[in-house]
Amino acid sequence: MPFTTIHGGNMRNLIIGTIGGILISAIVINFSDNTTRQVNEMVKECEKSLPRNDHCYIIAVPPDKD
């Protein structure tokens, strides 16, 4: 039998769980990397016309609730 029990568990469940965890981790890392890249591009665009010693900052402001 290729899928035998390990300490009362099923080897197939262990493999499926491990693969699922790796896929979820890859998706989360990819999403956060894309967000960081987008923010860096916005800062570079902002700093194009500034002198070398001036920098742009990203500020988050909640929307107005009228």
Task: Evaluate the CA torsion angle 25, 28, 31, 32 in order and state its sign.
Answer: negative
Q: What is the pLDDT of residue 28?
A: 82
Task: Give the integer Cα–Cα distance in Å for 37 and 29.
Answer: 12
For residue 12, is pLDDT > 60? yes
Tens of pLDDT, residue by residue over 17-45, are 888 888 888 888 777 777 788 888 988 99
For residue 8, is pLDDT > 60? no
For residue 3, is pLDDT > 60? no
Q: Say what the pTM is.
A: 0.44
